[in-house]
Amino acid sequence: MELQKFVENFAELFVDTDTAVFNAQTKFRDLEEWSSLIGLALIAMVDEQYGTKIKGEDIRVSQTIEDLYNVVKLRMA
């Protein structure tokens, strides 16, 4: 699993936000478009793309996209 690909997959969950704002250090909850529905889509994306599960708590304790990536990477190990 590659961080840049994870960032790209994460960015695809957003419809109205310019993909240029997404990078590993993006504080995703600060994005105007962030919502609980995108959180659910994120959980589904991780399950489909990476074959592992994350929970709402994992999202709540993460600050950046890289934090989420690290959670997913740990779960895949």
- Please state, in angstroms and as integers, the Cα–Cα distance from residue 38 to each residue in 30, 59, 65, 77, following that order: 13, 11, 13, 25
What CATH superfamily is the domain 3-76?
A: ACP-like (1.10.1200.10)
Tell me what the pLDDT averaged over the chain comes to.
97
Identify the DSSP state of 28. Answer: G
pLDDT of residue 28: 98
**Cα 20 from Cα 69, distance rounded (Å):** 18
Write down the domain spans for the chain.
3-76
pLDDT for 77 beyond 90: no
Rounded to two decimals, the pTM is 0.94
